[in-house]
Amino acid sequence: MENQNTLVWEVTVWEFLFVTVILAGAAAYMTGRAAARTWLPNWQLVLYVLLLTAATRFIHFALFEGTLLTLYYFVVDLIVLLVIAFTGKRITRAYQMATQYGFAFERTGPLGWKPRETGS
């Protein structure tokens, strides 16, 4: 297929969705969950997502004739994967705070928690 070179993807939209959003996005989400479960700092999650982004760029290069060393599309893939990874971390952290520390916190939605109201 012909590369489409748009602002968001350099391959076709379907290849971008399949490789970056579905395959690498699932790996980024699971990486975010693992970072939350082991209480890793955010800088370590960014480091792991950088490595995942490099692997994603290689898949675009090896399977779909994308460019391997393009800074612009590397940054685009990195931003997409960071958003997915930090979403996975936040969802898991909200669950952790509400279940492990249920006496002190309650969930306010899929991404948040708040201190539990104490009746005086």
Q: Cα–chain-centroid distance for residue 18? A: 15
* pLDDT band for position 5 (cuts 50, 70, 90): low
State the residue for tokens 């104490």.
118
pLDDT, position 12? 81
Q: What is the pLDDT of residues 79-97, one digit of tens each?
A: 999 999 999 999 999 998 8
Instruction: Let me know: does 28 contact 52? Beta carbons within 8 Å.
Output: yes
Cα 86-92-94 angle, rounded to 5 deg:
100
Task: Evaluate if pTM is beyond 0.85.
Answer: yes
Q: Where are the domains of the chain?
A: 13-115
Evaluate if residue 3 carries a pLDDT over 60: no
| Over residues 106-110, mean pLDDT | 87
Q: How many CA atoms lie within 13 A of 87 on its CB side?
A: 12
Evaluate if residue 68 carries a pLDDT over 90: no
